[in-house]
Amino acid sequence: MPNFTFETYHECKDFFIARGIKKRSIEYFLAHERYHFNKALELGYIPLYGISCIVDFPPIILAGFVQFEGRIPQGHDMIDILLAPKHPSQEDISQVRELEASFP
């Protein structure tokens, strides 16, 4: 399944709307990721919005994510990014627990 990455929220949203995905659907997937994205920017990283999807018409979105260009967040920075949403996902919480377990 292909992953697509975008430098801005609007670039990502517009790409998928142009391919037939309803504006509300893409906004739903991006809302959660926007918290991660903004926290990463605040901490000095270069985040990208990402979407995993099945390429069809319209595409079927499977997941949203944030990835990074250049420096990859580590340790407490990554925890802060993972916990940025008002309601972190189970995956976010699971990743935080893994990171915390790796601390001395």
Per-residue pLDDT of the chain (104 residues; tens, 9 = 90+): 678 889 999 998 888 888 788 888 888 878 889 999 999 999 999 999 988 878 777 777 777 889 999 999 999 999 999 999 999 999 999 999 999 998 87
Find how far residue 40's CA is from the centre of its chain.
10
pLDDT of residue 56: 72
The residue assigned the tokens 């919480």 is: 93
Q: Is residue 49 within 8 Å of 37, Cβ to Cβ?
A: yes
pTM: 0.85
87 lies in some domain: no
Residue 45's closest CA among 65, 67, 30?
Answer: 67
Q: Work out how many domains the chain is built from and give that number.
A: 1
Cβ–Cβ < 8 Å for 81, 66: yes
pLDDT at 54: 80
Residue 66: both structure tokens together: 């944030």
pLDDT of residue 48: 94
Range of the domain at 69: 3-73
| Residue at 78 is within a domain | no
